[in-house]
Amino acid sequence: MSDDTVYAAGCVLWRRSSSGSVEMALVFRPRWSDWSWPKGKLKKQEAARAAAVREVLEETGHTSRLGSALPPSLYVDHTGRRKEVKYWAAESTGGAFTPNDEVSELVWLPPDEARERLTYERDRELIPPALAAIGSDQHRGPAHTDEGDGS
């Protein structure tokens, strides 16, 4: 990729509802008027895994346990910059949302409703691999979040 590529990381954040079904967290960004997964730019020399956990906490107020890596999202933004976002399936380990300058709403939705609400097709494409990861991660036990950056 070129030197002007913007690198970011995020998560398909999920939890179990009271009935035991999977719910996924979507955030609303009023600046862009879009619904998406929690994500953001990597800080200088920050590992992608660390950035994903940090961004989830900053945008949703939830701590998370990273699971399997998901396919990266590669696209060109509205200014013509190339973007690469590395994603992980991540289970919420608790927290409380507070609106901030970047994210004004957080909703927890079943996967089919999340698919309908997401603004971009590239975000919708992460639902099937995220669901597969959630199933396989649960069979492996807790994910370790302190082993490299997952690049």
Q: Is 111 a member of any domain?
A: yes
Query: What integer pLDDT is reported at residue 136 of this predicted model?
Result: 82
Q: Is 54 a member of any domain?
A: yes
User: CA–CA separation, 35 vs 123, rounded Å?
Assistant: 9
> What predicted TM-score, i.e. pTM, was given to this entire model?
0.88
Q: Is 77 a member of any domain?
A: yes
Tokens of 78: 């509205």
Q: Which residues contact 48 (CB under 8 A, 6 or more apart)?
A: 7, 9, 42, 86, 149, 150, 151
Q: Is 86 a member of any domain?
A: yes
- As for how many domains the chain has, the answer is 1
Q: What is the CATH number of the domain that holds 21?
A: 3.90.79.10
CB 66 within 8 A of CB 137: no
Q: Is 74 a member of any domain?
A: yes
Q: How many CA atoms lie within 13 A of 49 on its CB side?
A: 14
Q: Is 33 a member of any domain?
A: yes
b/e per residue 73-89 (b: at least 16 CB within 10 A): beeeeeeeeebbbbbbb
Q: How many CA atoms lie within 13 A of 87 on its CB side?
A: 25
Q: Is 48 a member of any domain?
A: yes
Identify the domain containing residue 30 by its residue range.
Answer: 6-140
CB 109 within 8 A of CB 117: yes
Q: Is 11 a member of any domain?
A: yes
| pLDDT tens for each residue of the chain, 151 residues long | 446 899 999 999 999 999 999 999 999 999 999 999 999 999 999 999 999 999 999 999 999 999 999 999 999 988 899 999 999 999 999 999 999 999 999 999 999 999 999 999 999 999 999 999 999 876 554 444 444 444 4
